[in-house]
Amino acid sequence: MPEQYKSLQGFRDILPEDQPYWRYVEKAAAEVAQLYGYRRIETPLLEETSLFRRTSGEGTDIVDKEMYSFDDRADKEGHRLNLSLRPEGTAGVVRAYLEHGMFKLPQPVKLYYLGEAMFRRDKPQAGRYREHHQFGCEALGEEDPAVDAEMIGLLYQVYTTLGLKDIQVYINSIGDGNCRPQYIEILKDYYRPLLDSCCDDCQVRFHKNPLRLLDCKEPQDQAKIANAPKISDHLCEPCREHFAAVQTFLKAYEVPFSVDPLIVRGLDYYTRTVFEFTSTRDKLALNGGGRYDGLAEILGGQHTPGIGFGAGIERIIQELKRQGITPPEELRPRAFVAYFDRTPEGKNAAVQLVAELRLAGIKTEMSYGDRSPKAQMKRANGSGADYAVLLKSEELAEGLVTVKDLQAAGTDIDSKQVQVKRDELIAYLQQ
């Protein structure tokens, strides 16, 4: 027996029964993004590894441990590129913005991506997959705090449109190149004498990515985090004003938010406003985002402020299910054609009719494999169709078919069943 293949650990099939959830989320996301003036972009799944290394940053989990990278074949000159499946969407969008000269357009350029697959070799666990999909927005070329508020407002409106309740919005400012380095020194001064009692990861974070000390989940480090100096007390004046304006404008979008000085985010490119939404505290983040005013420069572009978010579609769907929100059902078939004459002519008449109805845009099913009339009627009932169309050779000879209303209540056979002229069937089903 050949070995039975299974999908890879952390990778999932999205089966037909789950598709209505995906379409429901995608529809709400696209509608709200467009309402706010965002236009769709798709970027390649594969990029040069250095694009992600330079933007997300060395010392981040994504770059150090989680990327799927490989050497490409050498080109004619013998050059070989190292490529990676994208772990996140922002780097590719900023690359595209620079590559296509979008800085020449009126700013900000507002873009969204939807359903894009991201790959991280994370430890698979609930809500954490090695392939996940994001809805994301990026606004490039504007540092106005009104854009920050708009970004958070947009995302919140997606959740309310979906009918989700109890969404917690946490925002913070992590300063900029002016004030953050000073804060990081203060943070390191605080941690230095405590380092021996910190977890192994924090020992590394202290050197590589000190801000992430505040993101540690180990119980032994929680008291240290609670007493650590807060970045909000060390913002420079422009950052403080920017963050105050974000909060004022956010009220216009009726977003109930809290400032959480411990939101620092896991990627290096963030500056100033950062945010995360959860359904209940301590649950996995539904989304994360923030400003990245220095990112375009890292990629060789002009100074280009930017802000965006990525929301995990799997996590949104998990939350919809948890809150008992069901998406609209898929369209039921309008007709199910059953043929009682199982000769080649009878079968041909059924196939002809099914094709004709479908070409007229009527969702139609039939059962295959020349089953008995009884078995076909069982299928018809199980299909959820509105009507069964019964083809019998003696009726067809007179240009008639029988239409049975499968959804009608009661047992009165006559009220459920009518004879319809074969050439008036389309009009009858379109009523």
Site for ligand HAM in 204-263 (CB under 6 A): none
First to last CA, the chain: 53
Shortest Å, Cβ 219 to ligand HAM: 23
Give the one residue of 57, 141, 308, 327 binding ligand HAM; rule: CB under 6 A. Answer: 308
- Give the span between the Cα atoms of 242 and 246, in whole angstroms: 6
Site for ligand HAM in 92-131 (CB under 6 A): 120, 122, 127-129
Percent helix / strand / coil, the chain, rounded to 5: 45, 20, 35
**311 lines the binding site for ligand HAM (CB under 6 A):** yes
**54 lines the binding site for ligand HAM (CB under 6 A):** no
**88 lines the binding site for ligand HAM (CB under 6 A):** yes
| Stretch binding ligand HAM (CB under 6 A), from 30-38, 86-94, 101-109, 374-382 | 86-94
Q: With contacts defined by CB under 6 A, how many residues of the chain interact with ligand HAM?
A: 27
**422 lines the binding site for ligand HAM (CB under 6 A):** no
As given in the structure block, the two tokens for residue 178 are: 């002016």
**153 lines the binding site for ligand HAM (CB under 6 A):** no
- Give the span between the Cα atoms of 293 and 268, in whole angstroms: 12
As given in the structure block, the two tokens for residue 155 are: 């995302």
List the one residue out of 303, 306, 354 whose CA is nearest residue 333: 354
Q: Which residues of 65-90 are buried (b: 16+ CB within 10 A; e: fewer)?
A: ebbbeeeeeeeeeeeeeebbbbbbbb
Residue 50, SS3? helix
**288 lines the binding site for ligand HAM (CB under 6 A):** yes
**136 lines the binding site for ligand HAM (CB under 6 A):** yes
**294 lines the binding site for ligand HAM (CB under 6 A):** no
Give the one residue of 167, 286, 391, 406 binding ligand HAM; rule: CB under 6 A. Answer: 286
Q: How many CA atoms lie within 13 A of 18 on its CB side?
A: 11
Q: What is the binding site for ligand HAM (CB under 6 A)?
A: 88-90, 120, 122, 127-129, 132, 134, 136, 138, 266, 285-290, 292, 308-312, 314-315
> What residues are designated binding site for L-histidine?
88-90, 120, 134, 138, 265, 269-270
